[in-house]
Amino acid sequence: MKFLNNMTLGQYVPVDSSIHSLDPRCKIIATIVCLTGVFLVSGPYGFLSWGLFFALMVMLSRLSGGLILSTSRPVWILIAFTSIIHLFFTQGTPVFSWGILKITHEGLEMAARMGLRLLMLVLFAGFLTLTTSPTELADGLESLFSPLKRFGFPAHELAMMMTIALRFIPTLLNETERIMKAQIARGADLDRGGPLRRLRAFMPVLVPLFVIVFQRADDLATAMEARNYTGGEGRTRMYPLRWSIADTATLMLTVLFAVAVTLLEKRLMA
């Protein structure tokens, strides 16, 4: 229950900040640049630089650090599992050995590297959704994909599907929490026992949740048909996207920072 209450993946927090006011296309491209830069670094200097850069972005967004860190909560198990796999199965100079388990110096480095990369991947992606509304995100994605329309790429449809998926993550989490509370009120024990017992106890939650998912999908389709939605052809926006000087400056600074960190780390590691 506490896990669901602290879930912030896919949520948007409206705040009057310089980050929120940026064009969504700028934030999407800047996020891609940041993720590329994170995967290009491999040493402590590079990860420290990107960590400081992310902290600066959080300060400019005027969001709390705890809220930002909570976006990584759903993938902590994945991060830990990936780190453990690299820790015990990377060949190299032994550091510790116990039976068939062996930890190497290269394994320690790889585990830390992959764990930090996955963590920053989730943090930057979560930061994008926290500072960009679903409508802005859809408009930005559609605008970025629009040059591919001449090749038959469904830019509007893809952006619409991604936006609906992000929009319904918090809704489905709220529905899951409501169903779990109802089951607990009827005597269900969802928080005790081992993983298999909890999985069996969670099955009565999944059935009504799937029913609700299909009901909401049908309601959404009916609402879109009632509004004569036929796709993106000929549609206009209430709030057109406007690229400003601040967007250009932000994107240029992000690209320059990514290039500088990558080149500086290579020189320090040489």
The per-residue pLDDT for 99 is: 66
pLDDT band at 183; cut points 50, 70, 90:
confident
pLDDT band at 214; cut points 50, 70, 90:
confident
Digit-coded pLDDT (tens) for 85-136: 877 777 777 766 776 677 776 777 888 888 888 899 889 988 998 898 888 8
Residues 7, 132: Cα–Cα separation, whole Å = 17
Residue that has been written with the tokens 């993938």 in this structure: 75
Rounded to two decimals, what is the model's pTM?
Answer: 0.75
- 238 vs 110, more confident: 110
State percent of the chain over pLDDT 70.
84
The per-residue pLDDT for 3 is: 43
In terms of average pLDDT, the best of 87-101, 152-166, 213-227 is: 213-227
Asked whether residue 2 carries a pLDDT value surpassing 60, the answer given is: no
Q: In sequence order, what DSSP letters do the residues of the chain get, joined into one string? A: -HHHHT--TT------STTTTS-HHHHHHHHHHHHHHHHH--SHHHHHHHHHHHHHHHHHHT--HHHHHGGGGGGHHHHHHHHHHHHHH--SSEEEEETTEEEEHHHHHHHHHHHHHHHHHHHHHHHHHHHS-HHHHHHHHHHHHGGGGGGT--HHHHHHHHHHHHHHHHHHHHHHHHHHHHHHHTT---SSS-HHHHHHHHHHHHHHHHHHHHHHHHHHHHHHHHTT---STT---SS-----HHHHHHHHHHHHHHHHHHHHHHHHH-
The per-residue pLDDT for 232 is: 63
pLDDT band at 235; cut points 50, 70, 90:
low
The per-residue pLDDT for 4 is: 46
Digit-coded pLDDT (tens) for 246-267: 999 999 999 999 999 999 888 8
Digit-coded pLDDT (tens) for 34-82: 999 998 988 888 899 999 999 999 999 988 888 788 777 777 888 888 8
The per-residue pLDDT for 32 is: 94
Q: Where are the domains of the chain?
A: 2-132+240-269, 157-232
pLDDT band at 162; cut points 50, 70, 90:
confident
What's the length of the chain?
270
Asked whether residue 1 carries a pLDDT value surpassing 50, the answer given is: no
Q: Which amino acid is at 151?
A: F
Are 169 and 137 spatial neighbours (Cβ–Cβ below 8 Å)? no
pLDDT band at 270; cut points 50, 70, 90:
low
- Residue 123: beta bridge partners? none
Residues 222-235 have a mean pLDDT of 74
The per-residue pLDDT for 110 is: 82
